[in-house]
Amino acid sequence: METIATLTEFIESGGLSLDFSDMGRRVSSLPRERFVAFENAEIPYPLPLQQQAWFALTLADPTQRQIDPMIWFIRFPLDEQGKLSLSARDDFMHHLVESLGSKPDTDGMETALQNNPYAFQPKQERLAIFHARLTRNLNKPVSRFYDHAKAYFDGDLGWEQWSFIGYQGIADLAARLEQQGNTQRIAKSIPSLPPSPLEALCHCLENEVIPQTIANALAQRGLSNLQQDMPDPQVLSAVVRGLSQSSKTAIRDDFIHRLLDHSISHRCDLLAAIAGRAWEALEESAMRHRFLEQLADNEEGQGFFNGILSDLLYLPATRQAMQASLRDPLRTERLSQVIGTFFSQIRGE
């Protein structure tokens, strides 16, 4: 049996162009060279989630630019090193060749992933964010929900009227921060937004590099909330996520430092937001140490600690730094205890 080509080689052999996007931790672009290296099992997947690679392929015919591209959503299992399981890749290719034949053509591509076990359907919120970024990148018309979202974030509709705002409109707004005054529009709205639309906004902003104006507004909203007698974890979690890709990392890091110094940071939703969306903040040793101390005292116990630590040890961006912190002789007795239990459970003791 002939060796099946990689997915990238197979699709490009049919004259189609490809763009790659992560669909797991963030909706974000993946450079072609990194994806190809991943597909050849040369490097780990850069943004694994649940020990899988979740990604979107945008397939376009360069000779027919007026036609909308096709989108494939695929997930691949990863091995212990975070690299692609080659048997899974080859099995996927086998299903694909059975559907399309040995050379792809545009006629069969639309239905090529039907019944393919590696295809998946993203949640509606993820699809909205992906669609907003895609139409922006292709200079396609924005959705019909965009103008309504702009009016809401201008305060014209009343802040309590958020339930009428389509999520797609919020995603379109967040994907177009440099257009039509949207940066100022969003920054001015942040102090007044109820928790739910603030949360929706931040879930969209986490996929974008946000300017300092928005970062300052989010950090101030979060710090004001921390000073209340009963801080709102929904607001705090949203702010962590919204700040995760701040162009001014000092604003993000200062807020997370202050959050971790507050007793509410024992909450699992807040710890998960930091680990799952703002993991770059944990590159700094003091921040990482404080995070692990709070993680050791989380409200759900050892199982939650194990899950978050496993995730961070699996993530290429944080693996080495986390390993260094686990060996830190200055860690507290409590942290040493839960780390010991973590490794004992891994060994099956």
Per residue in 276-308, pLDDT (tens digit) is: 999 999 999 999 999 999 999 999 999 999 999
Confidence of residue 66 (pLDDT cuts 50, 70, 90): confident
Residue 1: pLDDT above 70?
A: no
In angstroms, the CA 238 to CA 270 distance is 9
Confidence of residue 99 (pLDDT cuts 50, 70, 90): confident
Average pLDDT over residues 267-281: 97
Angle at 132 between CA 134 and CA 135, to 5 degrees: 40
Residue labelled with tokens 């890749």? 89
pLDDT at 19: 95
pLDDT at 93: 87
Select from 172, 171, 225, 234 the least CA-distant residue to 199.
234
In angstroms, the CA 195 to CA 192 distance is 9
Residue 107: pLDDT above 80?
A: no
Select from 20, 50, 48, 49 the least CA-distant residue to 36.
20
Q: What is the pLDDT of residues 201-212, one digit of tens each?
A: 999 999 999 999
Confidence of residue 150 (pLDDT cuts 50, 70, 90): very high
Select from 117, 112, 121, 127 the least CA-distant residue to 59.
112
Residue 14: pLDDT above 90?
A: no
Confidence of residue 103 (pLDDT cuts 50, 70, 90): low
Give SS3 for 166.
coil
Phi and psi torsions of 143, nearest 5°: -70, 165
- Core vs surface per residue 6-26: b (16+ CB within 10 A) or e: bbbebbbeeebebbbbbbbbb
What percent of the chain shows pLDDT beyond 70? 96
Residue labelled with tokens 């053509």? 105
Contact 54, 20 (CB under 8 A): no
Contact 61, 104 (CB under 8 A): no
**pLDDT, averaged across the chain:** 93
Whether pTM exceeds 0.95 = no
Residue 132: pLDDT above 80?
A: yes
pLDDT at 346: 80
Structure tokens at 176: 């177009």
Confidence of residue 106 (pLDDT cuts 50, 70, 90): low
Query: Where along the chain do its domains lie?
Result: 7-109, 125-208, 235-349
Per DSSP, the residues of 187-255 read: HHHTTT--HHHHHHHHHHHTTS-B-HHHHHHHHHHHHHHHTSSS--HHHHHHHHHHHTTBSSHHHHHHH
Helices (H) and strands (E) in the chain, counts: 17, 4
Confidence of residue 347 (pLDDT cuts 50, 70, 90): confident
Amino acid type, 155: G
Which residues in the chain belong to E strands, given as ranges?
Answer: 17-22, 28-30, 52-60, 70-77
Confidence of residue 232 (pLDDT cuts 50, 70, 90): very high
Residue 257: pLDDT above 70?
A: yes
Q: Helices 167-174 and 195-205, interaxial angle, to 10°?
A: 50
DSSP state of 331: S
Q: What is the pLDDT of residues 70-86, one digit of tens each?
A: 999 999 999 999 999 98
Select from 339, 317, 318, 314 the least CA-distant residue to 327.
339
pLDDT at 115: 83
